[in-house]
Amino acid sequence: MTNPLIFDDLQKILHRHLEPLPDYRKKGPNTRYRIQDGALGAFGIFFTQSPSFLDYQRTLQQNRGQNNAHTLLGVEQIPCDNQIRTLLDPLEPAQLFPVFHGVYQALDRCGELAAFRALAGQLLIALDGTQYFSSQDIGCDSCSQRTHRNGRVTFFHQVITPVIVAPGNADVIVLEPEFITPQDGHQKQDCEQVAAKRWLARNAEWLTHATILGDDLYCKQPLCELLLSCGFNFILVCKPESHKTLYAWIATLESHGDLSQVSIRRWNGRFHEVHTYRYANEVPLRDGEDALWVNWCELTITKATDGTILYHNAFATKHHLDRKSIELVVQAGRTRWKIENENTNILKTKGYHLEHNYGHGKQQLSAVLLTLNLLAFLFHTVLGWVDHKYHLLRQALSARQTFFQDLQALTRYLLFDSWDRLLDFMIQGLELMMTPDSS
């Protein structure tokens, strides 16, 4: 690894890509606040997980003539919540996507992505959709709609939040999202598969040498063909009820004794498990002469004592399967769950409040705020394993809530001229020891 990243490096990436944000306001004497101040102010709320962060900083500014929003984040003038919503509503969330690219490139340059590579050096990218807003009273032109039997209409927003995952790695790297929203010129309502196709086509050029992971929804021939044409491989959940032709082939192979199988006995710390892998190369994904031929694998984990099934899943892939590769391919496919546990679950239940309506707006506000929230999560994730001081504090304050409560209290009452000084203050207060390599 070369020079490790620190908060100042991430902040420079953020500022560099926020600087060109367009200002859609009419020119006049009342344009006191920069668009960048609105974006940085919202980012500060998500980064500190404090809805009152900007209120506290305005109080500090009045009492002390300075504030942490300026010294830590570079906010020149602190806008109020309504002003932030007005400033950000006309923006397109895609105008913030270069920040994700910048962080990814910085991680690649300093060698941090090496820990996320598997299957001959490929990155594993999991795709999954989630809902982040729902209301029967509030809606906008970007909302999807669901009409109920009683005639009531629910307005909602959904998004795909791709992440880079790796077996044995608890962290995930958040990539730019793709919003599931009505598209110009299309009468049909947008859906997760179509949104995934847009994301894949847009990111294929710079996310090279990668394998896409997804659930059974993604295991359809048009999407698989797009993945291959974009240079991606894939490991996708493959269920019998949605792939009848493929499983008919599997049944035929099994009846003729041509289905490969490997069984491995393992100790899980409490009892022995039996991991049974079954696999076959070159089976059709669907019926028809134009069927895409894929490789299929299945893992069943049972208790060695009584055969109780503990886990079962199957995948379709273009990775070649044999006795040496089967475990690695299945292990990679199983890391898909991290997008739910280490990404969506944290965003919804661990302080980022992904489903909270911070502001719906009339245009793109809801999507822009969600994008800034994802960036705050990305920054904390990266800092956790590249910034030595941050990592030391997160180890000492292992409860996520405790860390953020301390961060909120300190930035409310005290002034810090840099993020590094804030970390030093916390380290000294906790009497933590820095090693020579991390000082």
Q: Specify the number of domains making up the chain.
A: 2
Together in a domain, 369 and 313: no
Task: Supply the pLDDT for residue 419.
Answer: 95
Together in a domain, 314 and 360: no
In a domain? residue 312: yes
In angstroms, the Cα distances linking 146 to 129, 154, 190, 359 are 17, 5, 12, 21
| Residue owning tokens 């044409």 | 229
Closest of 151, 144, 114, 103 to residue 374, by C-alpha: 103
The answer to whether 231 and 246 are in contact (CB under 8 A) is no
Together in a domain, 41 and 93: yes
In terms of phi and psi (left: phi > 0; alpha: psi -120 to 50; beta: otherwise), the region of 178 is: beta
Together in a domain, 373 and 282: no
In a domain? residue 146: no
Together in a domain, 92 and 11: yes
Closest of 147, 129, 130, 149 to residue 139, by C-alpha: 147
Between vectors from CA 169 to CA 163 and to CA 174, what angle results, nearest 5°? Answer: 20
Task: Supply the pLDDT for residue 273.
Answer: 96
In a domain? residue 124: no
Indicate the helix (H) or strand (E) that contains 246: helix 244-255
Quick check: helix, strand or coil at residue 415? coil
In a domain? residue 337: no
Distance from the first to the final alpha carbon of the chain: 17
Number of helices (H) and strands (E) in the chain: give both, helices first.
16, 14
In a domain? residue 264: yes
Q: Can you point out the beta strands (E) in 190-259?
A: 210-214, 233-237
Domain that holds residue 428: 1-99+356-439
Q: Which residues are registered as beta bridge partners of 314?
A: 298
| Residue owning tokens 């909270």 | 356
Task: Supply the pLDDT for residue 211.
Answer: 97
pTM: 0.92
Which residue stretches of the chain have pLDDT < 50? Answer: 1, 185-186, 436-439
Phi, psi of 369 (to 5 degrees): -65, -40
The Cα–Cα gap between 244 and 10 comes to 48
Widest distance between CA atoms in the chain: 82
Together in a domain, 366 and 309: no
In a domain? residue 132: no
Last residue of a domain, one of 301, 322, 343: 322
In a domain? residue 384: yes
Spatial neighbors of 400 by CB under 8 A, at least 6 apart, are: 350, 351
Together in a domain, 414 and 368: yes
Would you list the DSSP string of 293-360?
EEEEEEEEEEETTT--EEEEEEEEESS---TTTHHHHHHHHHGGGHIIIIIIHHHHHSSS-TTS-S--
In a domain? residue 117: no
Residue 120, token pair as written in the block: 């001959």
Task: Supply the pLDDT for residue 289.
Answer: 94
Q: Strands 210-214, 233-237: parallel, antiparallel or unpaired by DSSP?
A: parallel
